[in-house]
Amino acid sequence: MWQEERVEETEVLMAELEGLEFGKSDFVLLDEVNMEDFMGNLKLRFEKGRIYTFIGEVVVSVNPYKQMDIYGKEAIDAYRGRELYENPPHLYAVADAAYKAMKRRAKDTCIVISGESGAGKTEASKYIMQYIAAITNPSQRAEVESVKNVLLKSNCVLEAFGNAKTNRNDNSSRFGKYMDINFNFNGDPTGGHINNYLLEKSRVVQQQDGERNFHSFYQLLRGGSEEMLRTLHLENDPANYVYTRQGAGSATSNNDRSSHKAVLSALNVIGFTAEEIESIYRILGTILILGNLQFETDSECVQVVAPEAVGHIAELTTTESDSVAKSLLFRTVATGGGEVIEKGHTEKEACIGRDAFAKALYERLFGWIVGRINAVIEVKDYNPVLHGKNTVIGVLDIYGFEIFDNNSFEQFCINYCNEKLQQLFIELILCQEQNEYQREGITWQHVEYFNNQIIVDLVEQPHKGIISVLDEACLTVGKVTDTVCLESMDAKLRQHPHYTSRKINPSDKTMEFHRDFRIRHYAGDVTYSVEGFLDKNKDPLFQDFKRLMYNSSNPVLKEMWPDGQLGITEVTKRPLTAATLFKNSIVALVDKLGCKEPYYVRCIKPNEMKSPVLFDDARCQHQVAYLGLLENVRVRRAGFAYRQPYARFLQRYKMTCEYTWPNHLMETDRQAVEAIVTQHCFQDDVAYGHTKLFVRTPRSLFTLEQERAALIPILVLFLQKVWRGALARMRCRRMHAIYAIMRCYKRFKVKAHFWEVERRFASVRNMADYGKSVEWPMPPAALAEFHTITQQLHRRWRARQIVKNIPPSDMAEVRAKVAALGVLAGERKEWGCCRPWERDYLANVRDCPQSSSNFVRVSKELREKDSFNQVLFSGICRKITGLSVTAGSDQMVALHTSSQDDVLFYIQRGEFCPNQDRVGELLGTLSDHFTRVRNTPLSVKVCCSSVKLHMRGKPKSVTVETKDGQTNADFRKSRDGFTLLIPSN
């Protein structure tokens, strides 16, 4: 009864999102779980344009075969951060669910996209990648945008070189691709890694009717420029080349010309250099020219029909023409005795070798391109301690189940891969889930399902499986044919319920004797033609071609063929077969997927006509049956949407209950979880296991998430408050400690400075220079001012000690020199401080022998008349209309007047002392006199260039020039005033 109420409640919720005229948005909501109702709902939704439907967290996708306007920015915004059932079913919903699970629980997730060829897997993977790129990196960091751009652009390149038109699909993946996207703790992509599986390289040399070779060949031939094609010795018609002739006339929805431009742009964005891009297309050109090579027998020797093509191949691969021809026509063989001989090919052997070489060239080119992309997008300089946990979302886009008219080795491997993936789906969705219910003691009605492990064992079981039989046949010495291998398979597998052949069942005329065998796959019976199985499994390629490519001057080619460095006698170990290598890679892939939380997109092909309106009921029902979707609905309908260990559930939701926050006091975590459930009234929607809580509907979980989301900001604020308080207290204690240490250290530094000063200056009284030569220690910052005062005190004390020994008669000269030193302030280099200052030079007979007597007489008369005490300074000067002061080594001085009628004069040097500088003496004497007698300082200005003054109120400028041939200093008028010309010596 409760189950019906739950279904009705969820049905109402879904009805709000999509009207009931579109059917049920989730197959779990079907009234009856049977094939008829399932198919009716699927068909109704397809016809109404609803191509996506949920089975819980599994998305069922039907290929619409038309462009649909449901993938724009508005759709992305609608699904970002929302729960699965809040919006109509969509690829974006499952992509967001995988992203949220990865980000919330720091758990690796993966999205497995499965379905048969043409069901829309590749398009689904591209939309998922676009969605993840759109919702990440909101801060638009450049490095993250670069990673996203490369991840998206890689799809374009891999499709060009790995996809082809088949009869079922215009853009069929002919290789398997699994991409891991790495995310940092912020949920932004930091890199990725691409694994490729089993490129269908046989398509390079041969395609079925109506199919094409890989897109890259047609894009080059139809989209390449004339210059590029001319350089590659190609023409722009695919019909001119054997390898592309089959698909040249096939209609396709892809535009090869525009696709070629997009691929070139993508290669540049990813980071391929111009030389690498050129090498890629050189290899494509080489393959096309190889396909046109023909051989003929001439005198029992095989020759190339058109030798100029060999030269073109040599040019494109940067090898020697002779070496190319030799590799095509001969095979180097090592005998048992170590002797090396050359064995000529027959025409058939030469053709086989040519095709094998072409296939190997393309396969290694594709592998190199994938490796080059991985080198660009791989996570670099990752440190878990610094960058946090690195989580991963894996996206698997791998070829779907294939049943053709002629099924060969490639279809066998592809269908085996699909068996493994289906087995993983059964293991995780149907088997493990039901086993967990039993293990946890949950009441459960077991749902029956087909476990295809028996088919997987048929293919891969050691010593008994088909791959083991193929490998054994390849390793057997002697001529073992495909027919002999088939007989060996019949003998070992005749009792297996999923294997048969014409020999085992002679009445089945749909198979041929000695050619066909049939496997009952989960998706249907497939008849395989054993012809070519052994050659494709052995994957033969003569060592001569490997050495030829390794010896190429092109570094890209050389890098692709590292095994070519081995000599013919060094190749001893037989390589693993193609089937074994593929099996190992698929087993590793399944292991990788098994350790992640899986999300599924199950793709369905509605018809074989690629029609947007046709729904083939029988075809779709067959796919629904072999995909196990009905069983999936039953398990999901009867099961639980969510399960979590008690401790983890409690850790996430304990803040929503008063009895569990911040920590509960109950005996067990289960009792605490029960308290949370009871408080939210979810008792009827949960079941308690031994170690886990099981929740039936997503709505209960969503209610908890909503309440948790509302409480998180409150808790964050509380934690911030507590933490900020703790930080403040820590900071306060730290500051107290810092200040205490600083105080002690400062006291120590002060005392240490005093001790050092005392030590250095202890005996300065007995020094000749009274401590002038003693270097002062660097003071601490606190004593900077005190240090300056102490130095001044020492200088004054030292000056006092020196002055005490000067006779009183010399004190006037000392005072004058001190005054001159003060007023010049160190701006004049020469000022006569090292000589005695005589002051009255006009009265000195030695200095002025002709005028001294006359000056003495005149000064005596003035003294008697004006009663002045003494002459402060006298010297010969040439008086003009004004005076000024200079700052050079000349003797020009300016005296300014308050009436702006200044005096400019030049002190003439004495005849016997021509190099004496008397300006300092004049300034010192006047300054000392002004300070002592007039009790006012003398204002002195030292000019570095011209001297500015006023004459009769008008501004003048006086400059000083040195002139050759000038005997005496003299003034000359200039445009701005005057120029003092002084002798050059």
Rounded mean pLDDT of 378-398?
Answer: 75
Sequence-distant (6+) residues with CB within 8 A of 789 are none
Q: Which residue has the tokens 């009827």?
A: 684
- 242 contacts 195 by C-beta, under 8 angstroms: no
Residue 501 clears pLDDT 50, i.e. is over it: yes
Sequence-distant (6+) residues with CB within 8 A of 764 are 770, 771, 774, 794
pLDDT at position 10: 40
How does pLDDT run across 484-498, given as a tens digit for each residue?
A: 899 999 999 999 999
Residue 17 clears pLDDT 60, i.e. is over it: no
Closest to 921 (Cα-Cα) out of 804, 841, 807? 841
Which of 213-217, 381-385, 708-712, 730-734 has the weakest average pLDDT?
381-385
Which of 160-169, 230-239, 722-731 has the weakest average pLDDT?
160-169
How does pLDDT run across 327-353, given as a tens digit for each residue?
A: 999 888 776 666 778 888 899 889 989
How does pLDDT run across 63-84, given as a tens digit for each residue?
A: 999 888 889 899 999 999 887 7
Which of 425-439, 481-495, 597-611, 802-816 has the weakest average pLDDT?
425-439
pLDDT at position 570: 65
Count CB-CB contacts under 10 A for residue 509: 8
- The DSSP secondary structure of 551-604, one letter per residue, reads T-S-HHHHHH-GGGGS-TTT--SPPPPHHHHHHHHHHHHHHHHHTSEEEEEEEE
Residue positions forming the annotated binding site for ATP: 115-122
Closest to 293 (Cα-Cα) out of 312, 320, 279? 312
Residues 614, 607: Cα–Cα separation, whole Å: 6
pTM: 0.67
pLDDT at position 965: 81
Q: Which residue has the tokens 């289906």?
A: 422
Cis bond upstream, residue 462 (ω within 30): no
pLDDT at position 7: 39
pLDDT confidence tier of residue 4, bands split at 50, 70 and 90: very low
Identify the burial level of 289 via C-beta atoms within 10 angstroms of its C-beta, where 0-12 means exposed, 13-18 middle and 19 or more buried. Answer: buried
Residue type, 568: I
- 501 contacts 518 by C-beta, under 8 angstroms: yes
pLDDT at position 572: 54
Closest to 970 (Cα-Cα) out of 982, 958, 960? 982
pLDDT at position 338: 66
Find the helix packing angle between 321-329 and 543-550, rounded to 10°: 170
Select the more confidently predicted residue: 158 or 21.
158
In the structure encoding, which two tokens stand for residue 602, read together? 């199950």
Residues 778, 763: Cα–Cα separation, whole Å: 20
Identify the burial level of 880 via C-beta atoms within 10 angstroms of its C-beta, where 0-12 means exposed, 13-18 middle and 19 or more buried. Answer: middle
Residues 410, 537: Cα–Cα separation, whole Å: 10
Sequence-distant (6+) residues with CB within 8 A of 76 are 92, 131, 134, 135
pLDDT at position 879: 43
Kindly give the pairing relationship between strand 597-604 and strand 58-62: parallel
Closest to 317 (Cα-Cα) out of 303, 304, 327? 327
Closest to 202 (Cα-Cα) out of 500, 458, 508, 406? 406
Select the more confidently predicted residue: 119 or 571.
119
Residue 8 clears pLDDT 50, i.e. is over it: no
Residue 383 clears pLDDT 50, i.e. is over it: yes
How does pLDDT run across 256-301, given as a tens digit for each residue?
A: 999 999 999 999 999 999 999 999 999 999 999 999 999 998 877 8
- 61 contacts 52 by C-beta, under 8 angstroms: yes
In the structure encoding, which two tokens stand for residue 343, read together? 């064995």
Rounded mean pLDDT of 396-400?
Answer: 81
Residues forming a β-bridge with 526: 519
- 499 contacts 455 by C-beta, under 8 angstroms: no
How does pLDDT run across 238-255, given as a tens digit for each residue?
A: 999 999 998 888 777 778
- 655 contacts 711 by C-beta, under 8 angstroms: yes
Catalytic residues: 117-118, 122, 169, 172-173, 400, 402
How does pLDDT run across 942-984, given as a tens digit for each residue?
A: 888 888 888 888 888 888 888 888 888 888 888 888 888 888 7
Count CB-CB contacts under 10 A for residue 427: 16
Sequence-distant (6+) residues with CB within 8 A of 102 are 108, 109, 183, 187, 391, 392, 393
Q: How far is CA 770 from CA 754, 766, 779, in A?
A: 19, 7, 21
Residue type, 819: A
How does pLDDT run across 94-147, given as a tens digit for each residue?
A: 999 999 888 887 888 999 898 888 888 889 999 999 999 999 888 788 888 888
Residue 554 clears pLDDT 90, i.e. is over it: yes
Which of 153-157, 191-195, 382-386, 687-691 has the weakest average pLDDT?
382-386
Rounded mean pLDDT of 137-165?
Answer: 88
Residue positions forming the annotated binding site: 115-122
- 452 contacts 618 by C-beta, under 8 angstroms: no
Largest CA distance in the chain: 163
Rounded mean pLDDT of 149-174?
Answer: 89
CA 41 to chain centroid: 45
In the 8-state DSSP scheme, what is residue 506?
T
pLDDT at position 270: 92
Residues 324, 135: Cα–Cα separation, whole Å: 52
Q: How far is CA 348 from CA 171, 294, 927, in A?
A: 33, 10, 119
Report the chain's mean pLDDT, rounded to a whole number: 84
Q: What are phi and psi of 192, to 5 degrees?
A: -175, 180
Q: Which residue has the tokens 């006047």?
A: 926
Residue type, 210: G
3-class DSSP state of 95: helix
Q: How far is CA 354 from CA 217, 291, 472, 890, 909, in A?
A: 18, 8, 27, 100, 108
- The DSSP secondary structure of 204-256, one letter per residue, reads GT---TT--SBHHHHHHHHHS-HHHHHHTT--S-GGGSHHHHTTTT---SS-H
Q: How many residues does the chain have?
A: 985
Share of residues in the chain with pLDDT > 70 (%) = 92
Residues 234, 467: Cα–Cα separation, whole Å: 41
User: How many Å is the Cα radius of gyration of the chain?
Assistant: 50
